[in-house]
Structure 1
Amino acid sequence: MTETLLVTGASGHLGRAVVNHLLNAQKVAPASIIATTRNPENLADLAALGITVRPADFDNQASLEKAFKGADRVLIISTGELDLKSDRRLKQHQAAVAAAKAAGVSHLLYTSMPNPEPVSPVLFAGDHYGTEQAIKASGIPHTIFRNGWYQENLFMSLPHAISSGKWYTSAADGRIAHGARDDMAAAIAASLASGSTESQIYTLTGPQAYTTNEIAALVTEVTGKPLEVIQLPDEALTEGVKAAGLPEDFARIIVSFDANTRSGRIGMVTDAVETLSGRKPRTLKQFLEANKAALTGPAHAHH
């Protein structure tokens, strides 16, 4: 019998991409896919294809159990709940793991982050670490994807940096191998559709790691615009990000990324994306070339 594959957060960027790859690259029949989301009307187009669309509320374990009913392999995409003042996100993930166990799911898949251990400078790393622990404790065979930083995350900082000619950072000489979100989605979909039964952890990254200075040089090469990298201590960078109009907690999260980069905990390069998906990952230069207009245009043009 064909396994039923379930994707949570299916209306988000990553979830939608995973579903697309299940349908196209993996040739999974729509009838074998369940897509869950808070608001099912957002997935009317998937329902029209014959995919089962179900509501799922991560704050309500009973809702998750109902959503997971009949699913063999469940991909839990980490929720967007980034509240530093509570452990709501971890509780949501723990509820999903408990629901998967109650629903008799045979394999659990989860999107985590690289090196999520408690010493991580990233302020929400504990959510991922705690979820990984809950998955291991559940006894359900599992695949954990530790997604590296997306190339798309650069839309948060680059357009402003390019227009001002100055890129403020506290990352020092730390490196990041930014990967394309769609490449990671392709790898995740391949694993979800693979029928693999043993427990695995994959760290998903782009093909090459760069320092902030090296990224800035690539940006200049692609756009022709000079970009000076200015290193600041974390505190000064936090103040600068707040002055740019971002709320304190979000500013602290952004700066914690740079502290994490500086510490060397996100500098790894793996071939997991290509091994799982069978496709060559998009390079950072290709990303910059493809998005040149969005990165250098008016500030409102970036996503």
Structure 2
Amino acid sequence: MTETLLVTGASGQLGRGVIHYLLDAHKIPPGQIIATTRNPEGLADLAARGVVVRAADFSDAASLESAFKGADRVLIISTGDLDLKTGKRLKQHETAVAAAKKAGVAHLLYTSMPNPEPVSPVLFAGDHYGTEQAIKASGIPYTIFRNGWYQENLFMALPHAIASGQWYTSAGDGRIAHAARDDMAAAIAAGLASGSSESKTYTLTGPQAHTTAEIAALVSEVTGKKLDVIQLPDEALTEGVKAAGVPEEFARVIVSFDANTRSGRIAMVTDAIETLSGRKPQTLRAFLEANKAALAG
């Protein structure tokens, strides 16, 4: 009998990607896939394909317990509710883990981040570390995907940097192996569909780690536009991000990414995407070439 697979946050880009790979690459019968979201009407296209759509709110334990009922393998995609003062996201995730335990889920899967331990400079790393600990404490067999930074995250900085010719950063000579969101979705779907009951942790990265200067050189090659990297201290960069209209709390989160890169805690390169999905992940050059128009304006 085919296991029933559940994906939370199914209306998000990663969640949708995972479900499409389950349907199209792994040929999972749509009736064996449960997609949960706060707004089920937004998943009418998946429902039309036969996917079971259920309402689930991470702030409502009862809704999660009801949504998880009958699911064998549950993928918890980390929520976007960042609130560093209240720890809202960690509480949501802990509620979801408890609901999975009550619902009798046989295997939990979770999207974390690389090296989330308490020494991480990333300001929300504690959400992921705490969730990993809650999953392990639950006694449910698990698969943790420590997702590296998306290539798509570069859309936050590069268009403005390319337009001005200057890329302000505090990442120093730290390296980062950005990976395509679609490659991560393919790998996660493979893990969800695998039926494996072994507890494992995978770190998902792109195929090569680059410094900011190397990324800027690639950008210049692809777009034909000169891009100078200007290194700043964290506080100066924070002030610059705030001056661009970003609220202080989120500005500090953004700068903590650069501090994390500078520390070397996200410099790893793994073959986990290829191991899980059977395909080689997209290179950064390929991403830049595919998105040249959007990046360079």
Q: Could you say what the CA RMSD is over the residues aligned between the two structures, in angstroms?
A: 0.4
Cα distance, 1:186 vs structure 2: 0.2
Cα distance, 1:115 vs structure 2: 0.1
Task: Tell whether 2:273 aligns with 1:270.
Answer: no
Q: Aligned with 2:34: secondary structure? A: strand
Task: Tell whether 2:3 aligns with 1:3.
Answer: yes
Separation in 1 of the partners of 2:24 and 2:211?
35
Question: Deviation digits for residues 258-289 of structure 1, max 9, x if unmatched?
Answer: 00000000000000000000011100000000
Question: Deviation digits for residues 183-225 of structure 1, max 9, x if unmatched?
Answer: 0000000010000001000000000000000000000000000
Separation in 2 of the partners of 1:266 and 1:3?
34
Task: Tell whether 2:65 aligns with 1:65.
Answer: yes
Separation in 1 of the partners of 2:179 and 2:60?
33
- Identical aligned residues as a percent: 82
Letter aligned with residue 126 of structure 1: G
Question: Deviation digits for residues 89-129 of structure 1, max 9, x if unmatched?
Answer: 00000000000000000000000000000000000000000
Structure 1 stretches of 4+ with a deviation exceeding 2 A read none
Q: Which residue of 1 aligns with 2:203?
A: 203
Separation in 2 of the partners of 1:293 and 1:245?
25
Q: Which residue of 1 aligns with 2:13?
A: 13
Letter aligned with residue 138 of structure 2: S
Separation in 2 of the partners of 1:255 and 1:276?
31
The aligned runs of 1:234-245 (5 Å cut-off) are: 234-245=234-245
Segment drifting more, 22-31 vs 232-241: 22-31
Q: Which residue of 2 aligns with 1:233?
A: 233
Separation in 1 of the partners of 2:252 and 2:266?
18
Q: Which residue of 2 aligns with 1:94?
A: 94
Structure 2 portions without partners, runs of 5+: none
Question: Deviation digits for residues 207-244 of structure 1, max 9, x if unmatched?
Answer: 00000000000000000000000000000000000000
Letter aligned with residue 86 of structure 1: T
Cα distance, 1:84 vs structure 2: 1.4
Separation in 2 of the partners of 1:54 and 1:292?
38
Q: Which residue of 2 aligns with 1:219?
A: 219
Separation in 2 of the partners of 1:260 and 1:193?
32
Task: Tell whether 2:124 aligns with 1:138.
Answer: no
Structure 1 portions without partners, runs of 5+: 298-303
Cα distance, 1:16 vs structure 2: 0.3
Separation in 1 of the partners of 2:254 and 2:32?
38
Question: Deviation digits for residues 157-184 of structure 1, max 9, x if unmatched?
Answer: 0000000000000000000000000000
Cα distance, 1:83 vs structure 2: 1.0
The aligned runs of 1:1-303 (5 Å cut-off) are: 1-297=1-297
Separation in 1 of the partners of 2:189 and 2:180?
14
Separation in 2 of the partners of 1:291 and 1:163?
15
Separation in 2 of the partners of 1:294 and 1:83?
30
